[in-house]
Amino acid sequence: MSIEVKVPLLPESISEATVATWYKKAGDTVKRDENIVDLETDKVMLEVPAPNDGVLKEILKETGSIVHAEEVIAFIDAVTTPAEKKTAEPAQQAAPAVSQKASVISPVQPTSPSSTSPSGSSQESPTLSPSVRRVVAEHEVDISQVKGTGKGGRITKENVMAAISASPVTTSTIDSTLTGARPEKRVPMTRMRARIAERLLEVAQNTAMLTTFNEINMAQVIDIRSRFREKFEKIYKVRLGFMSFFVRACVEALKRSPIVNASIDGNDTIYHGYYDIGVAVSTDRGLVVPVLRDADKMTTAEIEAKIAEYAEKARLGKLTLEEMQGGTFTITNGGVFGSLMATPLLNAPQCAILGMHKIQERPVAENGQVVIRPMMYVALSYDHRLIDGKESVTFLANVKGLLEDPARLILEV
């Protein structure tokens, strides 16, 4: 019988999705719960599993199509087991006058996983990571022509990029205004990238954003991390990074400057009596900001464990919309990419964001002497409609003081 493949219910606030990548083509064998297509929304990638064993009969929505919740995007000819067939036969004999439209479709024998297409290529689709899927979709790579060099023959992103570089550039990828050997390829923005661009432009147009800077001597934090890193990891099974220190310092500073933890709603100021800290994570598809709920109630180990969990989910494209919604304040770390100083953009509707940067040894003056210290520039971008210079500078000075003397975090002084 023919079974519909439908778009799943979309997360709240998302009305449509884009068909990103089909992993099967019409005529391919599919297995129940096997991912056959990825749908890209503004914020997350959704996998659509096959509802039944069978053969993918027809694809109704090709890559790039806009789809909505519950919309039918394909049909599968389901495999009828011998038991199901035996049960169906008496029913057919009892109702000989059934119309042709309602008649049972003869079962299609599934292709063995080891079977090949007429050209000799395997019909079985390889398992791809989200980053590889994205590159395959953007460059329209025939994955059957790519040889995997990863573990167990797994296809890596490097394998796909090598295949793209090796393939000849067709005339369809060259801008008609160009001549000679100067190819260009026009690739539509991913849905997520377009949404990020839209939100950033909205922030630039609708907020009075200003940035204040300071620098932090990271010697004390580095010393604590060096002394307790191995013991911490042994006890809590998670590595001790710098982000947990910044999360705890920001929470304490937010308690002292409630306006920095607030947001604007029309002509109203909303003071949040909780501390949901967003931690920006870079992925192949763009920047995502999962949220540490009630960060003020979390231990250092819980913060590090949650950040590690979010980072892994982001890498695999498994973050849920609920994990990225809300947040009262955001921290972003450009230092992991070597950034020495930058101005972070607000994560609306939040009114402030802290930017961390690279730790670099440089000469500083202490007690009348020039000494070498591991220093980090930090930047606080804020919405000047709500936060004045005094509050922003005070907040950043508190963060600096708490990190330069971490004992204050324990004593909350």
End-to-end CA, the chain: 70
- Pick the catalytic residue from 28, 53, 139, 384: 384
Q: Measured between alpha carbons, how far is 396 from 376 in angstroms, rounded to an integer?
A: 13
Strands annotated E in 29-145 = 29-30, 35-40, 45-49, 54-59, 66-67, 72-78
Q: Measured between alpha carbons, how far is 122 from 38 in angstroms, rounded to an integer?
A: 21
- 3-state DSSP assignment of residue 133: helix
388 is catalytic: yes
Distances (CA, A) of 92 to 6, 78, 89: 28, 18, 5
187: which residues sit within 8 A by CB, 6+ positions away?
138, 139
Contact (Cβ atoms closer than 8 angstroms) between residue 76 and residue 51? yes
Contact (Cβ atoms closer than 8 angstroms) between residue 133 and residue 21? yes
Q: Measured between alpha carbons, how far is 243 from 251 in angstroms, rounded to an integer?
A: 12
Q: Which residues lie across from 213 on neighbouring strands? A: 379
Contact (Cβ atoms closer than 8 angstroms) between residue 275 and residue 326? no
State the DSSP string of 324-369.
Answer: HS--SEEEEEGGGGT-S---PPP-TTBSEEEEE--EEEEEEEETTE
List the one residue out of 206, 208, 240, 207 whose CA is nearest residue 226. 240
- Pick the catalytic residue from 142, 223, 294, 388: 388
* Positions marked active-site: 384, 388
